[in-house]
Each structure stands twice: as C-alpha cells, then as structure tokens.
Amino acid sequence: VAEEGVDVLEVAKSAVDAAMKAGATFADARVGTDLTESITVRNQQMEGIDRGESTGVGVRVLVDGRWGFASTARLDEAEIARTAGVAVELARAATRLPGDPVRLDHVEPVVDSWRSPMNEDPFTVPLEEKVALLMEATRRAQQVKGVTFAEGGLDFFRRSTWFASSDGAAIDQVTTQSGGGIEAVAIGEGDMQRRSFPNSFRGHISAAGWEHIRTLALIEEAERTGREAVELLAAPECPSEVTTIVLDSGQVELQIHESIGHPVELDRVLGMEEAYAGSSWLKPQDRGKVRYASPLVSITADATLSGGLGSFGYDDEGVAAQRTPVIVDGIFENFLTNRETAPVVGQDSNGTSRADGWSHLPLIRMTNISIEPREGTLADIIGDTEDGLFMATNQSWSIDDKRINFQFGCEIAWRIRKGKLTQVYKNPNYTGITPEFWGSCDAVGGRESWMLWGTPNCGKGQPGQVARVGHGASPARFRDVRVGVRG
Amino acid sequence: MPGLIGADGFHRTAEAALGLEGVDGVEVLFLHEWGGLTRFAKSEIHQSAWREDTGLHVRVVRDGRVGVATSNDFSPEGALRAARSAKEMVDVVAPDPMWPGLAGPAEPAVREAFDDATADASAERRAEAVATLIAGCPDRFTAAGAFETRAIEVGIANTQGQRCWAPSTQASLTVVTSGGESGNGFAEVFSGRMQDVDPEAVGARAADKAVASQNPKPLDPGVYPVVLEPAAVSTLTGFLAYVGFGGRSLIEGRSCFSGKEGEKVAADSISIWDDASDPSTLGVPFDFEGVPRQRVDLIEDGVFLGAVYDRRTAKEAGRDSTGHGLPAPNPEGPFPLNLFLATGDASVEDMVAATERGVLVTRFHYSNVVNPVESSITGMTRDGTFLIENGEIVGPVMNFRFTQSILDALSDVSMIGADPELASEFFFSAARVPALKVERFNFSGRSDH
C-alpha cells in the first residue's frame, strides 16, 4: 500500500482516532502488508510456485480494562471506523464477566522507522535463477542411486508494518526473510528415510536477502544428503537404551524452542493459554530460584540480534527490541513478557508481543531464544565422548501441556565409540523430563559451532497464530538419556 | 456489516482474472471468512477478537506450466493483478508432465450449511454463553477456553466453465476447567449452528472431569487396555489421514497403506470413510479445485479399500479425482477433511465396566508422527486420565506419553461407542467418531501432573 502513495501511518492513526472516539481508553492499530514467495521443486519438476500478498488493519482497544480486537482487509475510512467500533463493542462485551482490569506498564511512545538488514532483495532476483538453483541441487541429490525423490524449496517473506497508538507512538518497520533447503527421500520395502540440508522443514531461514541463499551450499551438499538417505534404508533401528547423546545445533534449536522457549512465556504461566497450547511448569515466583539446567546452560532472549526471525526494531506494542537473560548458569531468571503481563512480576515489558500479521491480536512470542556458546566444536564434543549417540536434524516433536515430558525424533544417529562416529542408526528418538534433561547437559559448543536458526512455524493462540522465531544453538551433550522409544 | 458476497459477486470479480490473455487456463479459488472469538481464562474474558478477510488464489496454466498467486484484494483489479503475477511464473517454469487440466463443469450437491444467527452472532451473545458456562464452575475451580462463531464462503471459477460456490457457518466451544489441588477437565463441541452449542452442558462436562481429576497418582507406564473418548479417537483418525489416506503418499510408497489395498489393516468392526455431504459434519460439497466431493470408503470391515485423490494424483494413479484437492500449490497432495468412524453399540460406561484394569483417556495433546510407514505416533494425555479397576473408575492418574502404531491400536479394538462426536485434531478438518476400547495401548512415559 505504501507504493500507492498513501501515508500508511496516517491510516493507522485514523484507526486509533476512530477507536478513541468510539469510547476506548487506549488503542493501537497496525496496518500491515505481507508478501510471500515460495518455490518447490521435486525430481526436476515444479511442485509449486506461488506468490502471495495480504494487506489490512487490526485495531486493539481497552475499554473498562478489557481488550477488544478487530481487523479488516478494507482500508477505506468508513470500514476502518466500523472496525474500530467493533473492537470497542467486543471489549464492552467482555465486561459481562467480572475480573481484574488490564493495566499496562509504562512505555515511552516512540516515533521511528526500522528495516531488517538485507543486501540483495530476494523479491527482485529473477525467478529463473531461483528455479535453476533448486533444479541443480535436486538433480545432484537425485543422481545418487537409491534416492526415490529429491525436493528443494525456497521461501521469501516480507512484512511491512505501520503502528500507531493513542500514547503517540508511530513506527514503521520492514522485515525481509529468506530461506531454502533440500531433502532426499529413499523408499524401500515398508520403509522411508529422509535426510535434509541444512535443516528439516524448509531448510535454514534468516532475516536477510538473497545473499543468505548464496551461503547455504545447497548444490554442494546435495549429493551427501542423498547418500545419507540411502544409507539409512540399510541401517539398523536406533537401539532402545539409556545413554549419552550429542545433539547437532539444529536439534538443540528445537529442544530450546519446545522445552525452554514456550514454558518461559508469562501468558502461559498465568494460565492465559491453558485451554489450547497449555500452561507451564514454571510459576511467577520462580524467577531467580529454580534450577532449570546445568551451570553450563545460559539462555538469552535477544530481539536485537542481526538476522534472526525474532529480530525487530519494536514489537507489536511499540516496545523496543531487547536482550534479556532467561537462564543464567542454569538458574531461571526471566520470563518473556508483554505490557499486560510484565507488571505481574514487577517489571516492564521485555518486548515480546507479536502478532501473526495485521489480522491477529499480539501475544507473547519468542524472539531469538538462544543458548549462549561455551567451548569447542562438534568434533571436540564427539571426540570427548567415550560412548553414546550423535543425533542430527529434527524429524518430529511432542511435549506435554506444562512442557515437562518431551519426545523428539531425529533423521539420523551415529554410535559414538571412544570419540569416533561409527554405526549409523535410523529412526532415532529420545525422551526426557525438561529440568532433568537440561540438568544433565555437560557440554555446549563454542561460538564457532553456534548457528542462528529460524523456526517459521511456531503455533499458539486462538484463533491459531503462526510466529516466525529464531534460536541460536550450538551442539550439546546430555547424559543418561532414554533413546529408541518404540510403539 | 459483513455478509455474504455471494456467487454472483464472486464471479464478477473472478471474471477479471479468467479473461487473462496468452494462457491456456485460469482458475480462481475464492475464500471469504468473518467471525468472532471470545476467549476466557481464569473465568475472565481476556481476549475478544473479530476479523474479516478475503482470499483469491489464482492458478494460471500454459503448456502444462503452472503458477499460483494469492491476494486478499477482492476487487477485479486485485484478481487481475494476481493472475498476471501467476502468469509471470508460468513464463519461467518447466511444464508439469502430470498436469491434469482444470476441472470441467460438474454440479456439486447443494448443502444447507449457512445459519444466519451464527454468521451474525454478536460479542454479547458469545459473552453471555461464556458467562453461563462459568456460572456452573464449582467453587475453587476456574474455566479457560474459547467460543468461536464463523461464517465462510468458498467459490471456484475456471476457464473450463466450472462454477461453484457454497456458504457455511461453524460454532465451537472449548473449555478446560481447572482448580482445586491439581487436575483439569476438558469438553468441546463443534457444530454448524450456534444454537446447538449448550454452554451449560459443555461446562458441566468439563467441571465433572476436573473434579474427578483432583490429585492424580503416578501409574507406571506400560501396555494397558484403554477407553478412548471421541476427542482422543479423533487424534488417531486425524493422524491416520495424515500418514495414510492421501493418494499421493500411497502412490509414492510413503503411506502406511502403500501396497495394502484389499488387505486387512484393522479389526473387523472398524470402518472409516470420508463424506462431506453428511449433514452431521462441517463439509463443503466441492474441493479446492472445484471437483464435487465424493464419499470415499477408506477402510471397510477392517480392510483397506483405497485413498482419496485430487486431480493430479488421480491422473498419476490412472483414475478420477475423488474431490479431495487442497488449495494449490499443494506438495502434500489430497487430504480427507470429513472423516467418519463407524459406530458400535457400547457406551463409555459399558467399556469401563468391561475393563479389569486399564486407563480412560479424555484427550491427547501435541501428538506427532514417529514413523509414518508404521503409522506410529507419540503424544500426551491431558485433562482427564483415569485408572480403571474391576470395571470402575477408581481415580485420576498423572498424564502419560504414548508411543503407538495407530493401525495396531485399531486392530485391537474390542468395543465401539454408540454416540459419535464431531472432534478436530487439525484445525482445518473434523472427524465424527465414537469412543473406542483398545485392548493394548502403549504408554511409553509419564509426566508429573
């Protein structure tokens, strides 16, 4: 919409004005435009190529201490006023039940612009170049004898947001994200094995431009990816035992996401997500008291990192991006908060309120939740392990409603014997209890093995919202873990 | 106020895209949705939202080269812009040798699935229902959940002359009641009409479960007989659809049913089919390619009969589409959205009475695939898990992790419920399923609550 010469911030301000006129005591509005492009190739054929665009405005209000939120795709003046009125009606209806009124923390209103870093705009790179990259990468994987199909995908995403509030904030932001990956699948008698590169579920996504795709080495790694898929078909099943496991940084990413990122969301802790995604094993009074992990583990929420899917200038409440220690040397220190929940723990928001675009109410969402690097490479950790399993690349995940009991599957595992990788196993998985598992961590890789991964599919809320979040992760080692769970 | 755009309104907009020159064919998929959701927690309404959005998915083809563009600009200009964007893609991609062509004219069944009262439901009506539910909460217990009312219209128009359009409404109320010492209770209802949602009854069911769930005891993991209530059964059927019932995974050998057509895969009492035309589900009578949805018998008397197909996978399989295409592009292939599992003659009480020692499961949580070819999945129990001894529920137990082959579970079914419920494992589909008693079910771990 900005390209059409409209002062979009003024549209957002008009929505705020309409809401205040309708009776709101506080209002904010986000006009947003999402652009997407997705390309998928399988076995040298186009599986799909699509582009999408979505524009609209969401208005959030407080009336008598209750929230109302309404959104519309039509940006004419009358529709915006109507939508603001609907938001006020919703908030008024919420007063039908008694309850503590919402009180927001104090935030100095900001007037600013922010852009995520990008060298080469992925939306202007010719489609031919994108398709050619995937064709060549999948051709190389498919050349490996025994590969049934090879698939490659590229995804590009741009979100433009114009935010205004009745406090006087006026912020425009643009985030551009690029990602890509390949996978090879080998199908045998009653068996299917998959290897992905650089990560599963559409690869490695970063808040960057086409230059990120150039660094992925999809073509260079395609043949190895195919070979490993075929090798897995002939490999034995991961044994069932209790042992030491080393996880690659891609799996540590999801382990952080599910067993640390979600349970430290303060809205979950306060029961606000109880009926759907669940709550948390943590309590508000646990800050500074609970040992969450071994002293080697420090976790930080950092929206100021460059290149993360959870990086931004301001969250969807106009709160500046921040770096917050979540776990320090194994002790739980801070929740992820927003303006509504932070006062419950005597704090101001640490800036994690984000919505799935203009049509959704902002919720507490992970930013970039990362493990702080310690020492050594993956090879160093494996070399230092007498006996155990090295598991790589997430395949599946499951965790209970309080984020205590989890089970993860990986694509591949290797037996570690006297510091060397030996036997390959298929269908590896492991299970554990969150504080016990993190408490058993006795090695975390250093900066040289740390990767800032993107998780573009984090689900939460009703109606369902999908967030794009980041996780910095090094490979790590855990002791006495149950592996090889079978049905 | 929002309202139906209608077939004529949709077709007027679609014509701008269908008139695109220099291509062999154009298809416009139209989605329009509006509605509100009242969300509550700790017995307070904490989030209330309303939204309206439109979507145009324009698929363009030339010489078997296919591109898709989507936009929420529901205007002739927006439709044409999306069509031109899709044409740009067509200009650079390789032909799809399996391109089946666009759907030809075919009249889908007419279904009366639109309820004005549900489409127009006000925030006050939803808040009133939530207040009624919460008023029934026992002392020291609170309720959390959501009451949603939605209206949806879907349309397809293409240059082969296919034109279809269908409006529908949905209402759902979900509640988790918690409090006391520890232990939750869950209940949920889905319907096409708001008036079918009885907040008092839903709340009472969740409250009864919550009261009965207080102070759960640890029980050793292991293989137990289980009584699965319908919400838990919908997890099994939902994941079976995901890992098995799609024609594409069947053709490619990725399905747990690949190579098993005509073979016994479940107990004799198990029959599963997909039928969007059944008025007791929330189906649309055509798929997202404009093909009328057919009833497909997937498992009959325990024997796997076949999968569902869209146009592309049907061509690959040398057969006709069954009308189960998803919006293009769709690398996952076709999917059954309206599953049914045949009922039996037992009640949940009968199943409990017939169990010497076992576990009753209200629902599962956050399940995921362990091994698709073996149909094995893992997940957690939640919001009401009970130990059964000597034919009676003797008390709540802490939540289990299960790791279990779905087909093995369906092969061990000994009793089937008489009263099916509409339940949804995935937000975009629903299954009408009864309770089941399964003689062997593998609980592989346990949580602390």
Residue A421 phi, psi dihedral angles, 5° rounding: -80, 130
For B135, the enclosing helix (H) or strand (E) is: helix B123-135
Q: Identify which of A156, A121, A150, A148 has the alpha carbon closest to the alpha carbon of residue A39.
A: A156
Render pLDDT for A409-436 as a digit per residue (tens, 0 to 9). Answer: 999 999 999 999 999 999 999 999 999 9
Chain A residues with CB-CB distance to B366 below 8 A: 278, 398-401
Instruction: Please name the member of A93, A100, A359 whose beta carbon is closest to the beta carbon of B51.
Output: A359
The per-residue pLDDT for range B321-343, each reduced to its tens digit, is 999 999 998 888 999 999 999 99
Mean pLDDT of the region A83-112: 95
Cα separation of A190 and B130, whole Å? 49
Task: Say if CB B146 and CB B133 are below 8 A apart.
Answer: no
How many angstroms separate the CA of residue B80 from the nearest CA in chain A?
Answer: 13
**CA separation for the pair B179, A279 (Å, rounded):** 13
Give the gap in angstroms from C-alpha A384 to the nearest C-alpha of chain B.
30
Alpha carbon of A412: minimum distance to chain B alpha carbons (Å): 13
Bond before A117 cis per omega within 30 degrees = no
pLDDT at B180: 77
Dig out the tokens for B190 from the structure.
Answer: 């889905």
Q: What is the pLDDT of residue B427?
A: 57
- For residue A72, list chain B residues with Cβ-Cβ distance below 8 A: 51-53
> What gap in Å lies between CA A62 and CA A60, rounded to an integer?
7
Q: Which of A103, A98, A101, A97 is nearest to A66 (CA)?
A: A101
Is the pLDDT at A254 greater than 90? The verdict is yes
Q: Are A88 and A19 in contact (CB under 8 A)?
A: yes
Please state, in angstroms and rounded to a whole number, the distance separating the CA atoms of residues A250 and A363: 26
Chain B contact for A69 (CB, 8 A cutoff): yes
Chain A residues in contact with B127 by the CB 8 A cut-off are 93-94, 96-97
Those residues with Cβ within 8 angstroms of residue A10's Cβ, 6 or more apart along the chain or in another chain: none
Token pair belonging to B355: 């169990």
Distance from CA of B332 to the nearest CA of A (A): 10
**Position A2 pLDDT exceeds 70:** no
Average pLDDT over residues B8-34: 97
CB A244 within 8 A of CB A388: yes
Q: Which is more confident, A44 or B77?
A: B77
What is the identity of the amino acid at A374? Answer: R
pLDDT tens digit sequence for A433-478 = 999 999 999 999 999 999 999 999 999 999 899 999 999 999 999 9
Per-residue pLDDT tens over the stretch B35-57: 999 999 999 999 999 999 999 99
Q: What are phi and psi of B12, to 5 degrees?
A: -60, -45
Query: Residues B280-288: what's their mean pLDDT?
Result: 93
Residue with tokens 């009401």: B384
Q: Is the pLDDT of residue A138 over 70?
A: yes
pLDDT (tens digit per residue) in B188-227: 999 999 999 999 999 999 999 999 999 999 999 999 999 9
The beta strands (E) that lie in A373-404 are given as 387-399
- CA atoms within a 13 Å half-sphere pointing along the CA-CB vector of A209: 13
Q: How many CB atoms lie within 10 A of CB B360?
A: 24
pLDDT digits (tens, 9 = 90+) for B217-228: 999 999 999 999
d(CA A457, CA A317): 22
User: B448: nearest CA in chain A?
Assistant: A404
Q: Look at residues A174, A167, A160, A159 and name the one whose alpha carbon lies nearest to residue A111.
A: A167
Which phi and psi angles does B229 have, rounded to 5°?
-70, 165
**A90 vs B47: CA distance, rounded Å:** 9
Residues 320-349 of chain A with CB under 8 A from chain B are none
Rounded distance, CA A370 to CA A302, Å?
8
State chain A's mean pLDDT as an integer: 96
Question: Which residues of chain B make contact with A397, given a CB cutoff of 8 A?
Answer: 368
Helix residue ranges, H only, A96-182? 127-142
SS3 at position A176? strand
For residue A405, list chain B residues with Cβ-Cβ distance below 8 A: 380, 399, 401, 445-448
Please compute Rg for chain B using Cα positions. Answer: 23
CA dist B14 → A239, B53, B158, B280, B443 (Å): 57, 17, 9, 31, 52
Contact between chains at B127 and A271 (C-beta distance less than 8 A)? no
CB contact under 8 A, A487 and B448: no
Helices B199-212 and B123-135: crossing angle in degrees, nearest 10, is 40
| pLDDT score, position B425 | 67
Cβ count near A65 (within 10 Å): 16
Out of A67, A131, A270, whose CB is closest to B93?
A131
Residue A45's pLDDT is 86
pLDDT beyond 90 at B182: no
Residues 227-246 of A with CB under 8 A from B: none
Tokens at residue B113, please? Answer: 């699935």
Tokens describing residue B77: 């200009």
Residue in chain B lying closest to A81 (CA): B1
Q: Which of A273, A275, A405 lies at the smallest CB-CB distance from B401? A: A405
Give the sign of the dihedral formed by CA A335, CA A338, CA A344, CA A347: positive
Question: Does A316 contact chain B (CB < 8 Å)?
Answer: no
Give the list of residues 6+ apart from residue A217 with CB closer than 8 angstroms, or none.
A198
Task: Please tell me the distance from the alpha carbon of residue A67 to that of residue A65, in angstroms, as a whole number.
Answer: 7
Identify the pLDDT of residue B330: 86
Residues of B in contact with A43 (CB under 8 A): none
- The tens digit of pLDDT for each residue in A43-86 reads 888 888 899 999 999 999 999 999 999 999 999 999 999 999 99
Question: Where residue A160 falls among pLDDT bands split at 50, 70, 90?
Answer: very high
Of A476, A475, A485, A478, the residue nearest A427 (C-alpha)? A485
| Contact with chain B for residue A35, Cβ under 8 A | no
Share of chain A above pLDDT 70, in %: 99
Contact between chains at A94 and B48 (C-beta distance less than 8 A): yes
Under DSSP, is residue A121 helix (H, G, I), strand (E, B) or coil? coil
What are phi and psi for residue B62, nearest 5 degrees?
Answer: -145, 125
Instruction: Give tens-digit pLDDT for A360-407.
Output: 999 999 999 999 999 999 999 999 999 999 999 999 999 999 999 999
Is A408's pLDDT higher than 70? yes
Looking at the DSSP bridge assignments, the partners of residue A415 are A389
> Judging by beta carbons within 10 Å of its beta carbon (0-12, 13-18, 19+), is residue A411 exposed, middle or buried?
buried
User: Tokens 């010497």 label which residue?
Assistant: B356
Q: What is the DSSP string of A303-322?
A: TTSTT-TT--SB-TTSPBP-
What is the ipTM, given to two decimal places? 0.95
Contact (CB<8Å) B127/A96: yes
Q: Cα(first)–Cα(last) distance of chain B, in Å?
A: 46
Q: Are strands A363-364 and A149-165 parallel, antiparallel or unpaired?
A: unpaired
Cis peptide before B105 (omega within 30 of 0): no
Cα separation, A323 vs B164, whole angstroms: 52
- Asked, as a colleague might, if the bond just before A98 is cis with ω within 30 of 0, I would say no
Q: Looking at residue A6, what is its pLDDT?
A: 65
| Inter-chain CB proximity A66 and B48 less than 8 Å | yes
Please count the residues of chain B: 449
What is the percentage of chain B residues whose pLDDT exceeds 70?
Answer: 99
A3: confidence class by pLDDT, cuts 50, 70, 90: low
Q: Is residue B38 within 8 Å of residue A93, measured between CB atoms?
A: yes
Q: Which of B399, B408, B430 is nearest to B231 (CA)?
A: B430
Q: Tell me the C-alpha distance between B362 and B71, whole Å.
A: 40
B194 contacts B36 by C-beta, under 8 angstroms: no
Chain-chain contact of A100 with B44 (C-beta, under 8 angstroms):
yes
Residue numbers of A between 449 and 468 with CB closer than 8 Å to B: 462-464
Q: Do A94 and B45 touch (CB under 8 A)?
A: yes
Block residue for tokens 């995403």: A157
